[in-house]
Amino acid sequence: TGIIAETNSTNTDIEMELYPHPTVGDEVMLTLNNMDSEQQEVLVEIHDLYGKKVHSELLGNNGSQMIAVIQLPELAMGIYTVNVMVNHERIQAKKLVVR
| Amino acid sitting at position 76 | A
Q: Is 74 exposed, middle or buried (0-12, 13-18, 19+ CB in 10 A)?
A: exposed
* Other Cβ atoms within 10 Å of 98 Cβ, number: 18
14-38 pLDDT per residue, tens: 999 999 989 988 899 999 999 987 8
Q: Is 96 exposed, middle or buried (0-12, 13-18, 19+ CB in 10 A)?
A: buried
In this predicted structure, the answer to whether residue 8 has a pLDDT above a threshold of 70 is: no
Read off the pTM: 0.82
